[in-house]
Structure 1
Amino acid sequence: MLLDNFILFLEIMLINIVLSGDNAVVIALASKNLPVEQRKKAIWWGAFGAIALRLVLTIVAVAVLDLPYIQAIGALLLLWIAVKLLIDDEGESNVREASTLGKAVGTIILADFVMSLDNVLAIAAKANGHIGVIILGIGLSIPIIIWGSTLVMNLLQKFPILVYLGAGILGYTAGEMLIKDDKIGVYLGHGTLHTLLPILAAAFVIVAGLVKKLASPGRRA
């Protein structure tokens, strides 16, 4: 029994490590323009808030994911978040630090909630009712998320062009979510469109960000 619980714990940890990749990108994109002291707070509060929400969502995953069109709605919301992160990155930082920090943390938590919709059911099913193992496995992924987001943020500071790559990754994830939706996926999840849709979603995010940047006279070239 102890060995089974340990293996179960490792499996849940592995799922969360995979999930933490996209989460690290969101945290880095949402907080990269904050002052250093605000940036650290955004990373910590965003990571803890996202993990807490993911834990709650995992426990009620079956009820949430059985709702019709929930993943399709989440996909559209994630597309909006990705484009907004690009647009905000090109804007002037004229908002007060406190409100900017709150906005960054809110974006992190909302995006993680959306991206977790199609993954938490796997965790809930894998845990088979072992709430303690779920809490431990998800909780221990916090350091991984914080370390990963710090690494990604440092790369974004050195190579600003990677902001578009990060936003594109979120767009790609949104396309995958749309395909996996039970109601919409039956029309989109087969053949060439199955492969192209995530790529098209990523391209849409990047192009939308570039168009908005070029069309706004007050933004940097």
Structure 2
Amino acid sequence: MLNVGYFYRYLDHLIESQSFDWLDSLILIVVILIEILLSADNMLIIGLLIKKLPAIQRASAIWIGLMGSVVLRIIAIIMASYLIRFYYFQGLGGAYLMYLASQELLYHKSPITEPPKTLNLSQIILYIIFLDLLFSVDSILAAFAIVGISPLEGDTSPKLWIVIVGASIGIVLLRSFTSNVIRWLEEKPILETFTLIFVIWIGFRLVVESVLSSLQLDFGFDMTTTRELVKWIFWAITLVFFIYASGEILKDKKKV
């Protein structure tokens, strides 16, 4: 049974533990981009759902579904922030990200299926919210990997606000420019490839963080320096990857 008092105390702790610095703005941009790129495919099925409605109802479906998606996403992030404090959930989450992205990259397997044929406005809104929550697992895990996980079991990430703000902005931007984002991905399939490779990379970081936490908590090793080194290596390789990916995307554009 849910202990409401404990939940409120946990929320207070989350708010008090948050920290801000100028580098957060750059990390926030990365989180927003990942949210948009990982969720773009979901917009295809949402587009199919909305097309089933009369034109006069489509705007309502989009924006009511948007508000519901944002609220449930924030709730899901807060719940995930509790679970991911434990290193075995970090490891499982990282392994899941690597598996999901590699399946899509190698075999083009996607969990998205064709929506039911006949749905009314309220059913479509609920379906949109459900789909968004169902397919948000990868983007939430990816965002936690990007902002970094607290080294001690029982602590919370001081950058949880980046995950919440990034996810919310990403959802709003994606809903606002769905057709443009989908067309961009269709015109540049290399962009999706690079996104999936990056997801595998950040999934690997979660697994590494899990191992380091296990060494510290279960075996008593001081992993502070190692963890800091891993963080800088992660961002250094990420920067090189983004520079290389940008060059390849621009090169691909010139060919077109």
The normalised TM-score by structure 2 is 0.48
Cα gap change, 1:77 to 1:56, in 2 (>3 Å):
same
Find 1:161's aligned residue among 177, 186, 192. Answer: 186
Q: Do structure 1's residue 42 and structure 2's residue 65 form an aligned pair?
A: yes
User: Which one-letter code corresponds to 1:53 in the other structure?
Assistant: A
Deviations 1:79-136 (A, max 9, x none): 6687436x64xx587252555544443343233322332542645539x9688x7565
Which of 110, 113, 122 is equivalent to 1:84? 110
**1:124-139 mapped onto 2 (5 Å cutoff):** 124-125=149-150, 137-139=162-164
Note if 1:21 corresponds to 2:33: yes
- Contact map agreement 2:42 2:132 (CA 8 A) in 1: yes
- For 1:27 and 1:42, locate their aligned partners in 2 and report how far apart those are by CA, in whole Å: 15
Residue 211 of structure 1 corresponds to none
RMSD, aligned CA? 4.6
Q: Distance in 2 between matches of 1:93 and 1:66?
A: 34
**What is the Cα deviation at residue 21 of structure 1?**
1.6
Aligned to 2:225: none
Q: Which residue of 2 aligns with 1:109?
A: 133
Cα separation, 1, equivalents of 2:63 and 2:190: 22
Aligned to 2:53: none
Residues 31-70 of structure 1: CA deviation (Å, up to 9, x unaligned)? 3413233233333322332233223322442215555443
Cα-to-partner distance string for 1:158-184 (whole Å, 9 max, x where unaligned)? 66725956754553344324543349x
- The 1-side partners of 2:82 and 2:25 are apart by 16
| Aligned residue runs from structure 1 range 53-72, under 5 A | 53-63=76-86, 65=88, 68-72=91-95
Q: Is the 8 A contact 2:73 2:167 kept in 1?
A: no
Q: Is the 8 A contact 1:28 1:152 kept in 2?
A: no
Answer yes or no: is the 8 Å Cα contact 1:17–1:144 preserved in 2.
Answer: no
- Residue 8 of structure 1: aligned partner: 20
Q: Which has the larger radius of gyration?
A: 2
Query: 1: CA distance between counterparts of 2:188 and 2:117?
Result: 20
In the aligned structure 2, how far is the partner of 1:137 from the partner of 1:28?
A: 20
Q: Distance in 2 between matches of 1:93 and 1:166?
A: 30
Q: TM-score, normalised by structure 1?
A: 0.54
Tell me: CA distance 1:107–1:174, structure 2 relative to 1, closer, same or farther (3 Å). Answer: farther
Q: Distance in 2 between matches of 1:165 and 1:43?
A: 28
Does the residue aligned with 2:85 lie in a helix, a strand or coil? helix
Equivalent residue number for residue 208 of structure 1: none
